[in-house]
Structure 1
Amino acid sequence: MKTGLKKIAALVGIATFGMMAMSGSAWAQALEKQKVSIAVGGKNLFYYLPLTIAEQQGYFKDEGLQVEISDFAGGAKALQALVGGSADVVSGAYEHTINMQSKGQMITAFVLQGRAPQIVFGVSTKTMPNFKSIADLKGKKIGVTAPGSSTNIVANFVLAKGGLKPSDVSFIGVGTAAGALSAMRSGQIDAISNLDPVVTMLEEKKDIKVIADTRTLKDTNDLFGGPMPAATLYTTEAFLKKNPNTSQALTNAMVRALKWLQTAGPSDIIKVVPESYQLGDRALYLATFTKVREALSPDGRFPEAGPQTALKTLQAFEPDLAGKPIDLSKTFTNELVKNANAKFK
C-alpha cells in the first residue's frame, strides 16, 4: 500500500511539474509555428512603431512567439523576402496585397498598423528653389525608401495628379534614415517621398518644400479621396490557413501594442524605442510622434472603404491594373483583429 501511495505521489508530482512548466507557455503549445520571421522595410520609422512596441514590450513573447525581425531598405525588399521564402510575414504597406494579386499571388493583410500613410512628398529647396508645379519635376531625380515601396507608390500618385508618368522621372532608393537626409542635403536628389522622423528633420532645416502630406486623416482623405490603409502585417494566404493560431498570436501582440500607443506619453515612448531610431535628435523625435499619432490605428481594423481607395490610387498610374479583376475581400481580413480586440479591451 505504501509503495502504491509513493507511486501515486510521484505521478502527481510529475503532473504538477508538467503543468507548472506549461503554465507560462500555454499559447506556445497551441501554436503551429513558434519561431516566426518578420521582414520590414525601415523599422526605425513611425510608420512601423506598433511593430517596435510589440517587440520591445515583449508582447510577442507573451503570446508564446519567438519573433525575428529583419530590417530592409524599403517595403519592396521586405516583400521580396516573403515571396522568396526567407520571411513568414511582412510588416509593410497594404497596397502590396493588391499588386501581388494582380500578378497571381494571394497576399492577405491581417492587422492594420496605420490608418494614414504618413508619407510626405517634398521638393528640394536647394536644387529646385523656383519650383512652381509638378510639371517642373520632369526629368528630375526623386528619392524613395526603395523602388517599388509605398513611398514610390505615393510619389507615383502625386506625379499622376500633376500630369506626369512614373517614367518621366528617375527614382532613387535612399533608405529611411541618415542616407535619406544626406541624399537630399547634398543635392543628389531633387525631391523626396519619405516618412518621419526623416521628413520632419528635413522640414526643420527648410531643406524641402512639402507638396503632399499624408500624416493626418484629413490630409490623407484630401489627397486620396477616402481612407487609405497604410502599414499592416501581411502574409501569404497559405500561411494564414496553415497557421491560424500563430497568426492570431501575432495579431494579439500587435493590437495590444496599438492600444498601448493610444495612451502612451512621450516619456513612455523614449523608454521603449531604441535610441538609434531617434537619429540623434530626441526632442524632435518626440515632437514628431505627437504629429503622427493620429495616423496610428487604434484597434487594428481595416476601414470598410479603405481597400477601394487603395485600388483607385494604384489604378491612377498603373494602366495594367485597371483591366484586371481584383477581389479586394481577399486582400485583407478583420477576423483575427476582432478576436484580439475581444481579448484586449
Structure 2
Amino acid sequence: MRTLDLLASDSSHLPFLYVFKESKVMEKYGYEIDLHIVGGAKAPTMAHRAKLALAGEIDFLSGLHHETYRERAKGEKRLTYLAQAQNNWDDRLVALPEIKSVADLKGRKIVCHSKAPCVSGNLRAVLETCGLKPDEINMDVIDDTSGKFLDFVDEITSGKAVAALVDMPFDLYGVKKGLHVVDLPDRPVIHNTTLLATSDYIRDNEETVNAFIKGFIEV
C-alpha cells in the first residue's frame, strides 16, 4: 500500500483531514494518508509549503491560498488547485453575554487567532459591513499556529477581552464558560482545505490524483 504525504497549513484544517486519514477511505484505492501540519518536522514554517510541493517532497497540500499567485508572477506555474472543500467562512465570534450585537464591540478588545487575510481580514470586513468604522475596531491579532483556542476564550472569562474569534468546536468551550456566539453575516471565502498539487505530479500520477479526489469527496 502506497503512502501519500498530505500537508495541512493550519490546525483549523485538521478536523476534516483527520477524518479523511482515520476513516481509511483511501485504503480501497490502495493508499494510506500520512498527515503533516505546518510547524512540524516536515514543514517548520509556512514558507516551506510551496517549496516542498515544487520539490516533489509531498503529494498534496491543503491551504495554499496566495502563494500560487506569487509563484506565477515569478514564472513558476506548476502549482495547481484540485478541489475546494469549504466555500463559506465558519469561524465563530464568542463574546461576553453583554455583547448583544456587533455595535456593542465598538472600541472594545477582540482577540483574533491569526493575522492571515482569510481570518483577521474577514473579521475586519464583516465588522465594517455590520456598521463599525475602521478606527472603532480594537482587534488584538495573535499570530499563533499552535491552535491554543482555549487560551483565547479564557482571555474573555479573565476580563482581558470581550470577544474572541475561534475555530469550531472551540466556540462550544466558550458557551460552556457562559459566553455566547455573536451572529455574523455569512461571507463566501476561500477558506481552509484548498487541495493542491503540482502539474508535474498530476500528469505523472493521474490514477493517484483521481483516487485522492474521489476519497476526498467520499469522506
What secondary structure, in the 3-state scheme, does the structure 1 residue paired with 2:34 have? strand
Taking the aligned partners of 1:184 and 1:203, their CA distance within structure 2 comes to 12
In structure 1, what is the equivalent of residue 67 of structure 2?
100
Structure 1 position 164 matched with structure 2 position 134: yes
Which has the larger helix fraction? 1
Which residue identity lines up with residue 115 of structure 2 in the other structure?
Answer: P
Distance in 2 (alpha carbons) for counterparts of 1:116 and 1:253: 21
Amino acid of the residue matched to residue 64 of structure 1?
Answer: G
Query: What amino acid sits opposite 1:206 in the alignment?
Result: G
The answer on whether the counterparts of 1:40 and 1:69 sit within 8 Å (CA) in structure 2 is: no
Instruction: Describe how 1:190-201 pairs up with structure 2 within 5 A.
Output: 190-201=162-173
What letter is aligned with 1:169? M
Of structures 1 and 2, the one scoring higher in RCO (CA 8 A, sep 6+) is 2
Q: Residue 37 of structure 1 corresponds to which residue in structure 2?
A: 6
Are the equivalent residues in 1 in contact too, given 2:9–2:62 (CA < 8 A)?
yes
The residue aligned with 2:61 is 90
Contact 1:109 1:232 (C-alpha < 8 Å) held by counterparts: no
Alignment of 1:4-83 (within 5 A): 34-42=3-11, 48-72=14-38, 79-83=46-50
Check 1:72–1:184 CA distance in 2 against 1; reply closer, same or farther (3 A cut): farther
2:156 and 2:203 map into 1 onto residues whose CA distance is 44
Structure 1 or 2: more strand by fraction: 2
Identity of aligned residues (%): 12
Secondary structure of the corresponding residue to residue 132 of structure 1:
helix
**Secondary structure, aligned partner of 1:250:** helix
Q: 1:247 to 1:163 in 2, by over 3 A?
A: farther
State the TM-score, normalized to the length of structure 1: 0.47
Q: What is the number of residues matched between the two proteins?
A: 201
Deviation at 1:37, TM superposition (A): 3.1
**For the Cα contact (< 8 Å) 2:84–2:195, is it kept in 1?**
no
Query: C-alpha deviations, 1:53-98, integer Å up to 9, x for none?
Result: 221121123322232112357xxx8854422427543333xxx53x
Structure 2: distance between partners of 1:66 and 1:176: 29
Structure 2 counterpart of 1:195, one-letter code:
D
Q: CA deviation at 1:199?
A: 0.9
**Does 2:84 correspond to 1:116?**
no
1:142 aligns with 2:111: yes
Contact map agreement 1:124 1:191 (CA 8 A) in 2: yes
Cα distance change on mapping 1:200 and 1:189 into 2, 3 Å: same
1:6-65 CA distance string (max 9 Å, x none): xxxxxxxxxxxxxxxxxxx6xx5xxxxx432322422xx6x6544222211211233222
* Letter aligned with residue 23 of structure 2: Q
Partner of 1:234: 195
- Cα offset, 1:147, TM superposition: 2.7
Letter in 1 for 2:49: L
**CA gap 1:72/1:182 in 2 versus in 1, 3 angstroms:** farther
Question: Structure 1 residue 152: deviation in Å?
Answer: 2.5
Relative distance call for 1:171 and 1:124 in structure 2 (3 A) is: farther
Q: Is the 8 A contact 2:5 2:34 kept in 1?
A: yes
Structure 1 residues 253 and 135, CA gap change in structure 2 (3 angstroms): same
Residues 109 and 234 of structure 1 are in contact (CA less than 8 Å); yes or no, is this contact kept in structure 2? yes
Give 2:216's match in structure 1, choosing from 246, 250, 254: 254
User: Following the alignment from structure 2 to structure 1, what is the Cα–Cα distance between the partners of residues 29 and 9?
Assistant: 20
Unaligned runs of 5+ in 2: none
Task: Report whether the alignment pairs 1:206 with 2:178.
Answer: yes
Shift of 1:196: 1.4
